[in-house]
Amino acid sequence: MKIKRSAICLLFASLAVIANSLPIPHAHAYTQQDLNNINSKISNLRTQMKAYEEQASAYAAEANNIQGEINSLQAQQAALKTQIELKQAEREQLMAEIESTTKRINDNSETVGYTIAQYYYNDEVTTIERIASSESFSSFIDEEVKLSSLTDTLAGIIEENKNLKAELEVKKKNAELILEDLNTQKTQLASLEAQQAVLLAQARENESSYRELKNSAASQKASLEEEQQKILADLAAQYNASGITAGDPSKGGYPYSGRCPQQKDAFADQWGMYICECVSYTAWKVYSTYGYMPYWGGRGNAKQWPANARAAGYTVTNVPKVGAVGISTGGAYGHAVWVEAVAGNRVYISQYNARNAATNYRPGEYSEQWVDQGMYQYIYFGK
């Protein structure tokens, strides 16, 4: 997986375009369209941040795999180094054997030379002269026997020299081939390790680039959310915090929004909540905001959430804050909402499955509205 620098630059450029499109504070009162626009941009940034995180995670996984390959290559290098050391020792022993064999050949050569010299001498000196030159007849006999013995073994010595020389050449060749093969392997492993190191550096750089893109998007999202709160506060003052609206065009970023309301309750989400229900939406908001959401399958009705939350160690309070889940325990199942903003004693919420004018009183739809804070208990999932 590779990404060119130019592609990353384009991604940064796209973020710059978003940054330049941030709402400018109005001299006049904000409108619901202003809120819808900024909600849409925040939703787009959330989507981009998720994509950047997925890309960064993919590069991190790739880098880990490459690091594993490098570790394996380094282990092979270490094993090969041991083999080379053993072969070096074997080669040294072989060279000692070669030296011994060479000495044997030289000794045999001297013997052959002596024998040949004796032949020349005997051919030129008569037997009477050899007897006369000997210290005694006995020594003459000894020399003759020795000469005869050397003559008999001359052919064998020559054959042995021939065999020793052939053996010597084989040993030399084998020693060089072994070292050449080991050094070739060592060079190949070093080359592979260098290539992997380049890939590792590229993967880490790509991971860092996408983390930077995500951080940039998060910074812009924070600026948008700050402006969003100003809009919400302004709208609250204008409408006395009572308006009900279809709100965010992306419907809170809820991944099952395209199936609502047609497939409401068709299946459960990953937390055991039926899709298009209020609890499924708030579970998603908790997960997408904080990165986790407890599994309360079988105990997922909204009115059960406060007890579930307390048992899990979460704060349950009557004081609202942005990013909390509001719970109403009225009715058979209760109702769960997501707190988008707080203005005085009023809270701005987003929700699913609230039958109101914004949803044409249909179940399983998304809507936003202002309500009195006393309508709900609030669960703090974040720190």
pLDDT at 333: 92
The CA-CA-CA angle for residues 345, 224, 319, to 5°, reads 25
Max alpha carbon distance in the chain (Å)? Answer: 150
Band of the pLDDT at 316, cuts 50, 70, 90? Answer: very high
Candidates 373, 39, 56; CA nearest to 205 is 56
163-183, pLDDT tens digit by residue?
877 777 787 787 778 778 778
pLDDT at 142: 59
Mean pLDDT across 354-373: 85
pLDDT at 20: 47
List CB contacts of 371: < 8 A, sequence separation 6 or more: 241, 346, 347, 349
Q: Hunting for tokens 């044997």 — which residue is that?
A: 104
pLDDT exceeds 80 at position 381: yes
- Pick the residue with more confidence: 161 or 80? 80
Mean pLDDT across 349-355: 91
List CB contacts of 273: < 8 A, sequence separation 6 or more: 279, 280, 283, 300
Band of the pLDDT at 319, cuts 50, 70, 90? Answer: very high
Mean pLDDT across 61-72: 88
Task: Report how far apart, in Å, the C-alpha atoms of 358 and of each of 38, 245, 246, 352 are.
Answer: 19, 5, 5, 11
The region of weakest confidence among 46-50, 105-109, 345-349 is: 105-109
323's torsion region: left (phi>0), alpha (psi -120 to 50) or beta?
left
Band of the pLDDT at 345, cuts 50, 70, 90? Answer: confident
36-65, pLDDT tens digit by residue?
788 788 878 988 988 999 999 999 998 899
Phi/psi at 335 (5° precision): -150, 140
CB-hemisphere CA count at 13 Å for 186? 14
Band of the pLDDT at 326, cuts 50, 70, 90? Answer: very high
- Pick the residue with more confidence: 163 or 132? 163
- What residue type is assigned to position 35 of the chain? L
255-302, pLDDT tens digit by residue?
999 999 999 989 999 999 999 999 999 999 999 889 899 998 766 799
Q: Would you say 367 and 358 are in contact if contact means Cβ atoms under 8 Å apart?
A: yes
DSSP 8-state class, residue 271: T
User: Residue 136 is encoded by which pair of tokens?
Assistant: 């005694």
Question: Which residue segments constitute the domains of the chain, with CATH numbers given?
Answer: 1-239 (no CATH), 241-383 (3.90.1720.10)
User: Residue 190 is encoded by which pair of tokens?
Assistant: 């070093």
14-40, pLDDT tens digit by residue?
554 444 444 444 445 777 778 778 878
Task: Report how far apart, in Å, the C-alpha atoms of 345 and of each of 22, 201, 242, 306, 373 are.
Answer: 28, 53, 12, 21, 6
List CB contacts of 383: < 8 A, sequence separation 6 or more: none
pLDDT at 375: 93
pLDDT at 22: 44
DSSP-derived 3-state class of residue 353? coil
CB-hemisphere CA count at 13 Å for 80? 19
List CB contacts of 229: < 8 A, sequence separation 6 or more: 322, 341
DSSP assignment string, 51-98: HHHHHHHHHHHHHHHHHHHHHHHHHHHHHHHHHHHHHHHHHHHHHHHH
Record the pTM.
0.48
pLDDT at 11: 55
Cα(185)–Cα(180) distance, integer angstroms: 9
Phi/psi at 309 (5° precision): -65, -45
Q: Would you say 229 and 349 are in contact if contact means Cβ atoms under 8 Å apart?
A: no
Mean pLDDT score across all residues of the chain: 79
Q: Would you say 202 and 55 are in contact if contact means Cβ atoms under 8 Å apart?
A: no
Terminal-residue alpha carbon distance, the chain = 36
Beta-carbon neighbour count of residue 325 at 10 Å?
28
User: Residue 139 is encoded by which pair of tokens?
Assistant: 């020594």
User: Residue 123 is encoded by which pair of tokens?
Assistant: 């051919």
Cα(331)–Cα(335) distance, integer angstroms: 8
Mean pLDDT across 191-210: 87
Mean pLDDT across 202-212: 90
Q: Would you say 2 and 209 are in contact if contact means Cβ atoms under 8 Å apart?
A: no
pLDDT at 130: 55
The CA-CA-CA angle for residues 36, 40, 42, to 5°, reads 115
pLDDT at 131: 56
